[in-house]
Amino acid sequence: MADVGPTITPAEMADLVESLGTIGEQPGGGIIRHVYDPAWCAAREQVATWMREASLEVREDAVGNLFGRLEGDSPRTILTGSHIDTVILGGRYDGGLGILSALAAVRGLKQHLGKPRKSLEMVALCEEEDSRFHGNFWGTRGILGLIGPEELEAHTDANGMTIADAMREVGLAPDRFRDSVRTDLDAFVELHIEQGRILFDEHVPLGIVDTITGLYRFRVTLEGRTDHAGTTPMDLRRDALQAAAEFATRMTRLVADVGRPAVVTNGWWDVRPGAWNIVPGHVEFSVDLRHPDEAIKQRLAADIRQLGQDIAAQRGIAIAYDIASDVLPMAMHPSIKAELQAAADRCNVKWMPMVSGAGHDSQVMASGVPTAMLFVPSVDGRSHSAAEYTSPEDAARGATVLAEALRGLAY
Ligand code: HGY
Ligand code: MN
Ligand code: MN
């Protein structure tokens, strides 16, 4: 048997990235591929075509995860892949590169080594980004049986469509969501772009993730009083936007004072009624708080909530919090991590251990399946932006190590 797996070339990765990256790309740049939307369907069809061309067994599960399977002597399965959906105006690599690397690795192993000992499967996970519905990690939670039946009608998009109806629109049967559960998975390996700048600054071509950060997301609603912008004295106002601005600024300072890797982001705002000449009476905005230590994450969340209540009380504003997600930090599986480290060493690729500041399917998958992640560099650390870029050379190096790791796990 070959002593290492197939070598994936920069040209192969560049072609794949170019082909997938144009699907959902907007005229001004950036990709919109939200779960179950037309671009999402087109991207999956393209991946399914590549899977069929590689003579993999192609299957879609009940929530829309797309699998390409190489049957082994054993039905126990090694799974690799990432998510096919994007953030709004996202880049070509977040999620997509993990799917394309999995494709290049699995088809390369099939060509070079034929039938594996354990079955080897690639997956385009249907949703990770929480972009259209707040059903974060929908694909992975379908696989692990972590979707609650009430979610099918509870999650709605900006147009009020339920996730169940969006599933029906693309031919899925939401009431069969439980059919997505898998019990045959012995390992999950996800290649992903770092989305930060550590590898780029350190000139290291590969990261192997130790821990993925915890995420705590909630909506803040502030209710003040709409008033006339011209006749209402400043000292008599109950201006919801001023309360929100003070809250956002002070929570940012609170988290910045904790220091790296604590981060907090107020990504979206909704100011009502939204007119030049009306004092805003109603503001909603998002809080995305992250820390790789669960106790620190929870303490910061409590401190932020208290700060908001103090500001609202001082300003005579009503405040409410709706928790959108509270995801644990997750350590990667030691033996799968060791497989990745050994594969990188056999491929003579320099790597470094990392903590992921981004959330990933792997942090949920790891709660039910031995899981580990490979990172490849993001130029200038840019991501969740049309400026996202990973060189074909770095992409090919990562895919080659992925293939070698899969060889070690499945052959
Ligand atoms: O938000 C994240 O970290 C991931 O990209 N969904
Ligand atoms: Mn992302
Ligand atoms: Mn991602």
Per the omega criterion (within 30 degrees of 0), is the bond before 273 cis?
yes
Strand partners, 123: 67, 81
- Categorize the per-residue pLDDT at 4 as very low, low, confident or very high, splitting at 50, 70 and 90: confident
Under the banding of pLDDT at 50, 70 and 90, the label for residue 395 is very high
Give the number of C-alpha atoms closer than 13 A to the C-alpha of residue 93, restricted to the C-beta side: 29
Q: Which of 408, 393, 411, 395 is nearest to 340 (CA)?
A: 408
Read off the pLDDT of each residue in 295-313 and give the average, rounded to a whole number.
Answer: 98
Decide if 10-213+330-410 and 214-327 have a common fold: no
Residue 244: burial class (beta carbons within 10 Å; 0-12, 13-18, 19+) = buried
195 CA to centre of ligand 3 in angstroms = 8
Q: How does pLDDT run across 31-52, given as a tens digit for each residue?
A: 999 999 999 999 999 999 999 9
Q: Which of 137, 286, 384 to mutate to test the pocket of ligand 1 (most atoms within 8 A of CB)?
A: 384
Is residue 238's pLDDT more than 90?
yes
- In this prediction the pTM is 0.95
For range 385-391, the mean pLDDT? 98
Please give the average per-residue pLDDT across 125-149, as a whole number.
Answer: 96
pLDDT band at 1 (very low <50, low <70, confident <90, very high): very low
What angle (nearest 5°) sits at the alpha carbon of residue 211, between those of residues 207 and 216?
Answer: 125
Q: Which ligand has its closest atom nearest to the C-alpha of 357?
A: 1
The pair of three-digit structure tokens given for residue 220, joined into one six-digit string: 């803040």
Distance 363 CA to ligand 2 centre (A): 13
- Region 52-63: mean pLDDT is 98
- CA–CA gap between residue 160 and residue 361 (Å, rounded): 26
- Confidence label for 159 from pLDDT (cuts 50, 70 and 90): very high
pLDDT tops 50 at residue 53: yes
340 lines ligand 1 (CB under 6 A): no
> What pLDDT does 365 receive?
98
Query: pLDDT tier at 91 (50, 70, 90 boundaries)?
Result: very high
SS3 per residue for 55-113: CCEEEECCCCCEEEEECCCEEEEEEEEEECCCCCCECCCCCHHHHHHHHHHHHHHHHHH
Helix (H) or strand (E) holding 186, with range, is strand 185-193
Q: What is the predicted pLDDT for the residue at 13?
A: 98
Using the predicted structure, report yes or no on whether residue 319 has a pLDDT greater than 70.
yes
Which residues of 203-356 form beta strands (DSSP E)? 206-212, 214-223, 227-228, 263-265, 269-272, 278-279, 282-291, 318-327, 330-331, 351-356
Residue 212, token pair as written in the block: 């993925």
Ligand 2: centre distance to CA 3 (Å): 35
Ligand 1 proximity of 128 Cβ (cutoff 6 Å)? yes
| Cβ count within 10 A of residue 342 | 13
For residues 160-170, one letter each, b for 16 or more C-beta atoms within 10 angstroms of the residue's C-beta and e for the rest, the string is: ebbbbebbeeb
3-state helix, strand, coil in the chain (%, to 5): 40, 25, 35
Assess if CATH 3.40.50.970 describes domain 214-327: no
pLDDT at 209: 98
CATH fold for the domain made of 10-213+330-410: Aminopeptidase (3.40.630)
Q: What is the DSSP letter of 381?
A: G
Mean pLDDT over each residue of the chain, to the nearest integer: 97
- Consecutive H or E run containing 121: strand 118-125
Using the predicted structure, report yes or no on whether residue 2 has a pLDDT greater than 80: no
pLDDT-above-90 percentage for the chain? 98
Instruction: For the chain, give every domain's residue range.
Output: 10-213+330-410, 214-327
| pLDDT at residue 138 in the model | 98
pLDDT classification of 135: cutoffs 50, 70, 90:
confident
Q: Does residue 289 line the site of ligand 1, with CB under 6 A?
A: no
Ligand nearest to the CA of 358: 1
Please give the structure tokens belonging to residue 154. 């509870």
Give the ligand 1 atom nearest the CA of 359: 3
Q: Over 90: is that where the pLDDT of 396 sits?
A: yes
Nearest ligand 1 atom to the CA of 384 is 5
Q: Is the CB of 129 under 6 A from ligand 1?
A: yes
Contact 137, 159 (CB under 8 A): no
Q: Is the CB of 358 under 6 A from ligand 1?
A: yes
Residue nearest to atom 4 of ligand 1 (CA): 359
- Residue to probe by mutation, ligand 1, list 129, 211, 326, most atoms within 8 Å of CB: 129
- pLDDT band for 3, please (50, 70, 90 cuts): low
CA distance 90 to 43: 14
In tens, the pLDDT along 118-133 reads: 999 999 999 999 999 9
How many angstroms does the Cα of residue 313 sit away from the middle of ligand 3? 38
Question: Is pLDDT larger for residue 134 or for residue 193?
Answer: 193
Cα 127 to ligand 1 centroid, rounded to whole Å: 11
